[in-house]
Amino acid sequence: MGIAFDSSAHINQVGGFPASITGSHTIVSDTNGAVVVNVEGNGSLSPFPTDPTVTFGGNSMTLLNPGGFTSSNNATSVVWCFYIKNTTLTGSQTITATAGANKAQFLCACSTAYTGVDQTNVVDTNTTTGSEPSGSHTLTLTATAVANNDWGVICAGSENTINAGTNSTFRVKADVNAEIFDTNADQAAGSVSMAIGTTDITNAVMFFLKPVATANTNSFFTMFN
């Protein structure tokens, strides 16, 4: 079996330079599981916010894009993507995002969980980023899937609702600031594009979840046929 969507959760925006935000995510299955968390904060202040840290069920998550992603179009929104493998935790699990030394003016977060993900290399190597200015636009991100059956994932931040576009399935949002999308289907190795519809300044990070390897029994049957 390949990658499959399991569940989602969100932590709505907390302002006033929060030291941390906390919420819960109920995991249905931990079979070759993985969890993705999108943290979004205000980056228009000086000094620029330090990277937050995130824990899932008390376990530290890996930050995919150190330094966060923003753009000259939108210094008010910074997107940080985190991930972790999960083969032991089901039911309600606590997610905590802790601000860095230089706190963002606000923080919010959302999370998605998946099954069928490789437990050695949860995320494939290639990522890409993109942004759109204010107004109605289609933001298309394109990156190279290293392996067959990868799933593309987008973590996006905006000042307004983001809509799913071509090859993108909406999964969850926190307020109207942080959202997660995925391809909801296996992708062939090679160039993969995902699109989202924006009505305001939007920043987004696209990456791939790698599927767990399946046993190859062809050589066994070939020996006896």
pLDDT of residue 145: 95
Domain assignment present for residue 219? The answer is no
Total domains, the chain: 1
Residue 223 lies in a domain: no
Which single residue is written with the structure tokens 């943290």? 39
Task: Give tens-digit pLDDT for 19-70.
Answer: 999 999 999 999 999 999 999 998 777 888 999 999 999 999 999 999 999 8
Residue 221 maps to a domain: no
Q: What are the CA-CA distances from residue 122 to residues 48, 83, 84, 147 (Å)?
A: 29, 8, 7, 12
Supply the pLDDT for residue 206.
Answer: 97
- Which of 68-72, 100-104, 166-170 comes out lowest in average pLDDT? 68-72
Q: Could you give the CA distance from residue 146 to residue 188 in angstroms, rounded to a whole number?
A: 9
What is the pLDDT confidence band of residue 133, given thresholds at 50, 70 and 90? confident
Residue 56 resides in a domain: yes
Strands (E), the chain: 4-14, 20-27, 33-41, 53-56, 59-60, 62-63, 69-71, 74-86, 91-98, 107-115, 128-132, 137-145, 151-158, 163-164, 169-174, 178-182, 190-198, 202-209
**pLDDT above 60: residue 225:** no
Residues forming beta bridges with residue 94, ordered by sequence position: 24
In a domain, 220, yes or no: no
Domain extent for 52? 4-213
Query: What value does the mean pLDDT take over residues 180-192?
Result: 97
- The strand order across the sheet containing 190-198 reads 137-145, 190-198, 163-164
Q: Where are the alpha helices (DSSP H) in the chain?
A: 218-223
| Residue 225 lies inside a defined structural domain of this protein | no
First to last CA, the chain: 26
Share of the chain above pLDDT 70, in %: 92
Q: Would you tell me how many other CB atoms lie within 10 Å of the CB of residue 136?
A: 9
Residue 224 lies in a domain: no
